[in-house]
Structure 1
Amino acid sequence: MMTIRPAQMEALIAPQKEIFATIAVGYLSKFFPEDPRLTDRNAIGSLIADGGERAHTYAILGEPELLLYLFLVFERGLHFELAAEHRWMKTILDEPSTHGEEKMSRIFSRLAKAK
């Protein structure tokens, strides 16, 4: 049986992460075209990586819902769901039986109603 070491696994995954980071920057640029954070490769790369890790803790795994989660991170901050006014988001994100797509749908539906 073949064993893949962690370093080898990271080497296999790294190109996918880079592709997703490029997609995410393009997505965020559509909504925040003048935001200077998008021109700082290191800062935006860290934000996408950190946001992606946080999203995974909430079982947000698919690209569409991950992009929506990153939109919230970019707009409201990395730990947006911990702010008092966003605790309702954390409640939704913490639901173990709800898929990531449904979580994002419920959050964005409520945000749209609040406008």
Structure 2
Amino acid sequence: MTGCNSSKGAAPSEEITSVEADSGNALADSIQTILDDKEYYPDITSIEVTSDYTLFTITLESDVMNTYESMLVMSFYTAGNEQQIAAGVSPQDAKTTVRYINGSTNEIISETDSSTMITE
């Protein structure tokens, strides 16, 4: 895994902690990049993530999202599921929900979860 600094002699739980920390830091950096990029993500005012990475809440200035903002759902499904698996959740039980909220009204615009992207 890119960015993983675990040593060969590390215990499995130490390796998982290292992977989680590296991935979590990369995710935090990615979220900040999105928040700073007003060209592609002009209406996003905040992105909140639960500590177990099961819920990403994206707050928009209004109830309309552009194409780039709407496509973030796939990235967050992947990132959330990867974080959960690194924490020991089985791949079939990992489930990430992405919720878009209108910041003006606090109404939920859209809420979907990663189980919708699983195909067999």
Pick the structure with more helix per residue: 1
TM-score by length of 2: 0.34
TM-score by length of 1: 0.35
